[in-house]
Structure 1
Amino acid sequence: GTGKTATAQQAGEVCTHIRTTIRGLYGARVARSVTIQYGGSMNPKNVKELMAMPEIDGGLIGGASLKAVDFSLVVNYDA
């Protein structure tokens, strides 16, 4: 990846736009049932802020998945 991460605000706005588009195309029930994940690099430094966004249902763990400690910190982050 680029190593560049969107801010939580930016990621949340994009996820909101995606869900709104799905709602417009397929209806509210489908939009509520779809899981929308942040596709940037989630790591121990940004996981809490990203996952605090109500529009973000999960995320891609990029380089952090290569280090057991970092992976564990992301997966088990303290909300």
Structure 2
Amino acid sequence: MINDSVIEDAQVIEFARRWLPYGGGTTGDLLVEFGMTPACYVARLRKILAGPAGQCLDPQLRADLGRFVAVRSARS
């Protein structure tokens, strides 16, 4: 698995923002873009949203991504 420090928070957030209207990226998209499974991606996004980078986001985007994480986490 790729170390969290290798993947910039901004890249994960941008990917999430771009794919949010479509229900998130596919397993293949996540493997190609970040080399991680959907579960690892959701965990990483949750960690970002809880940290300083997440606090700097537009409140609506942060809320939308938070709902996405909650829904995806409930499916696991």
Tell me if both proteins adopt one fold, taking TM over 0.5 as the criterion.
no
Larger-gyration structure (1/2) = 1
Which structure features the higher share of strand residues? 1
Higher helix share: 2
- TM-score, normalised to structure 1, is 0.32
